[in-house]
């Protein structure tokens, strides 16, 4: 039995114990592992009493449902003084407060923040990392600051070690941890039996405890002491101060859309094959061409969220090129069938689920062979923006960690956006209605991926659209292929805000991409040379 006495309380009582000006380490990934009932009680107390106020929140992943859950609960003027988050797109209710400078807002890479609680537990003053160099997180660019209020404090600086640049991230000292598990025993030991992820819960509990703070854990049920297997306990009772048992099952959902699916926590299920019937359209064209960049030796793969990366997965399966592939998802799953939408982060029958900080150790060390990610905005230097579009704050999530440390990265997306309609006719791409907005711009609005840093690191970087394929070079991006049916000038160069380098060996994309039959396992990057206009020679 623990030497310390754990108290068992309800969420309203827990909210009463959160002091003004608290620094809170908050756990969650979308709707998984989120102490939703506690967050609602904190907001209710603030609305009723004006307390707790001026809270500082640190969270590694996006926490919310894009509507009212998660950190959306905290969207009240005066409730916050600072948020440092890895992803913001799921908390739109916070955006007006960020724009109004009601609190300091920062966006740091998800991997950095998932690991920063370990540093806090060990009382390390900074986290030293190369993740974020050259991006908006770099203090030479924006320093991860999302509004003018954040300009009052620098939370990341630059330093050199052995002649190389590194970023030094300030480490928080949380005095409150808000977590969620499945079961607590009478000594406060916590297990995660029904949770699809464990994230950085152990690190957060240790960080708050070692900084003299209080640890709150919301659970489904309290069980007898001694009924848990020691290796199943993820948070020792020694670290837990308060257990909040909830009777409302909607507060214990595995994800934003799933109450409970045993397949997310068990391996003894048959993995669904899933439908691999994809119509021959622009999405399939993009996915097929992107899939060609996967080599036989690329066995560990990351697919970003979104329809284009997810379709690459289907294409590889259809072509018989996925037998030896193990997929990973940043919150901690290896293998299985990764889920999308509101279940993103979960996987059916995962081979293993580890803590998120360790997954990012794996990523940061180059553990992924190839990654397929989205392309929202691309500029002349090969920079990518997926994190900010006008007043909308999406945030980086794990994008910076993945793209900066993976040997081969393939960005996927359409060439233009806004009303774009295309079709594939007789083996050629046809533009039925051009998009209103150019995605290939002179300079991206925010640098989430740095082309120059990737070129310096000698990564293999490709940008695949339905009508053109580009490769990153030390001089910028180079056009290496165009789709059959496309005019180089009117359909490609005129739809860009800058002139790319053009390969002297410019080719048509493989014609098999634009045909109904399977392409076959030999995914050659073949076909005849494009006849360039004389003025371009």
Residue with token string 């994008």: 399
- Which among 157, 19, 156, 15 is positioned nearest to 81, based on CA atoms? 19
C-alpha to C-alpha distance for 393 and 107, rounded to whole angstroms: 9
- Nearest partner of 457 among 503, 409, 498, judged by Cα: 409
Rounded (10°) CA dihedral 254, 255, 256, 257: -80
The answer to whether 137 and 144 have CB atoms below 8 angstroms apart is yes
In angstroms, the CA 442 to CA 385 distance is 12
Annotated catalytic residue: which of 330, 377, 471, 478? 330
Output Rg (C-alpha) for the chain, integer angstroms. Answer: 24
Q: Where are the beta strands (DSSP E) in 359-511?
A: 370-374, 377-379, 384-385, 388-389, 392-393, 408-412, 416-417, 421-425, 428-433, 437-438, 440-441, 460-464, 468-473, 476-482, 501-508
φ, ψ dihedrals at 43, nearest 5°: -65, -40
Distance from C-alpha of 358 to C-alpha of 336, rounded to nearest angstrom: 18
Mapping DSSP to helix (H, G, I), strand (E, B) and coil, where does residue 2 land? coil
Annotation says 330 is catalytic: yes
Burial of 183 (0-12, 13-18, 19+ CB in 10 A): buried
Structure tokens at 413: 């997306």
Distance between CA atoms of 324 and 136, rounded to whole angstroms?
Answer: 36
Residue of 446, 533, 441 lying closest to 490 (CA atoms): 533
SS3 164: strand
* Nearest-10 crossing angle of helices 201-210, 110-121: 40
Specify the 3-state DSSP secondary structure of 433: strand
Task: Provide φ and ψ at 511, rounded to 5°.
Answer: -65, -20
Number of alpha carbons in the 13 Å side-chain half-sphere of residue 50: 0
Which three-class secondary structure state does DSSP give residue 145? strand
CB-based contacts of 493-499 (< 8 A; 24+ apart in sequence): 495/415, 495/416, 495/434, 495/435, 495/438, 495/440, 496/438, 496/440, 497/438, 497/440, 497/441, 497/442, 498/379, 498/380, 498/440, 498/441, 498/442
Residue 124: count of CB within 10 angstroms of its CB: 12
| Three-class SS state of 297 | coil
Which sequence positions are flagged as catalytic? 330
């Amino acid at each position: 039995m623990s030497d310390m006495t754990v108290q068992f309380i309800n969420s309203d009582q827990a909210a009463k114990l959160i002091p003004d000006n608290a620094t809170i380490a908050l756990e969650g990934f979308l709707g998984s592992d989120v102490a939703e009932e506690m967050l609602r009680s904190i907001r209710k107390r603030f609305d009723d009493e004006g307390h707790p106020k001026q809270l500082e929140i640190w969270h590694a992943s996006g926490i919310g449902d894009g509507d009212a859950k998660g950190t959306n609960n905290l969207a009240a003027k005066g409730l916050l003084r600072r948020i440092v988050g890895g992803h913001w797109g799921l908390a739109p209710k916070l955006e007006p407060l960020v724009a109004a400078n009601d609190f300091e807002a920062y966006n740091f890479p998800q991997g950095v923040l998932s690991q920063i609680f370990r540093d806090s537990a060990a009382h390390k003053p900074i986290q030293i990392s190369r993740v974020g160099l050259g991006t908006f997180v770099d203090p030479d660019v924006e320093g991860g600051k999302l509004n003018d209020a954040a300009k009052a404090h620098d939370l990341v600086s630059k330093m050199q070690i052995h002649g190389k640049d590194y970023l030094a991230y300030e480490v928080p000292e949380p005095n409150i941890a808000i977590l969620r598990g499945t079961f607590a025993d009478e000594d406060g030991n916590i297990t995660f039996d029904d949770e699809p992820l464990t994230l950085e819960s152990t690190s957060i509990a240790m960080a708050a405890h070692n900084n003299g703070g209080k640890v709150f854990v919301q659970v489904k049920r309290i069980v007898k002491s001694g009924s848990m297997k020691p290796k199943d306990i993820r948070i020792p009772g020694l670290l837990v101060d308060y257990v909040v048992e909830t009777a409302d099952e909607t507060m214990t959902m595995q994800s934003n859309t799933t109450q409970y699916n045993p397949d997310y926590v068990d391996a003894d299920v048959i993995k669904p094959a899933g439908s691999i019937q994809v119509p021959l359209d622009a999405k399939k064209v993009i996915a097929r061409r992107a899939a060609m960049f996967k080599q036989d030796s690329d066995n560990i793969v990351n697919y970003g969220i979104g329809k284009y990366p997810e379709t690459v997965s289907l294409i590889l399966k259809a072509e018989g090129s996925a037998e030896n592939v193990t997929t990973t998802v940043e919150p901690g799953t290896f293998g299985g069938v990764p889920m999308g939408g509101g279940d993103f982060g979960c996987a059916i029958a995962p081979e293993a689920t580890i803590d998120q900080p360790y997954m990012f150790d794996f990523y940061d060390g180059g553990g992924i062979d190839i990654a397929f990610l989205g392309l929202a905005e691309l500029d002349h230097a090969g920079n990518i923006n997926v994190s900010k579009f006008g007043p909308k704050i999406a945030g980086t999530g794990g994008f910076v960690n993945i793209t900066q440390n993976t040997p081969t990265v393939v960005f996927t997306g359409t060439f233009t956006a806004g009303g774009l309609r295309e079709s594939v006719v007789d083996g050629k791409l046809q533009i039925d209605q051009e998009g209103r907005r150019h995605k290939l711009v002179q300079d991206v609005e925010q640098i989430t991926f740095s082309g120059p840093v990737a070129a310096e690191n000698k990564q293999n970087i490709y940008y695949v659209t339905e009508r053109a394929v580009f490769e990153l070079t030390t001089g910028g991006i180079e056009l290496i292929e165009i789709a059959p049916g496309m005019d180089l000038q009117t359909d490609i160069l005129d739809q860009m805000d800058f002139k790319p380098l053009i390969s002297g060996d410019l080719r048509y994309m493989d014609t098999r991409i634009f045909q109904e039959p399977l392409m076959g396992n030999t995914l050659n990057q073949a076909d005849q040379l494009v006849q360039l206009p004389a003025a371009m020679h």
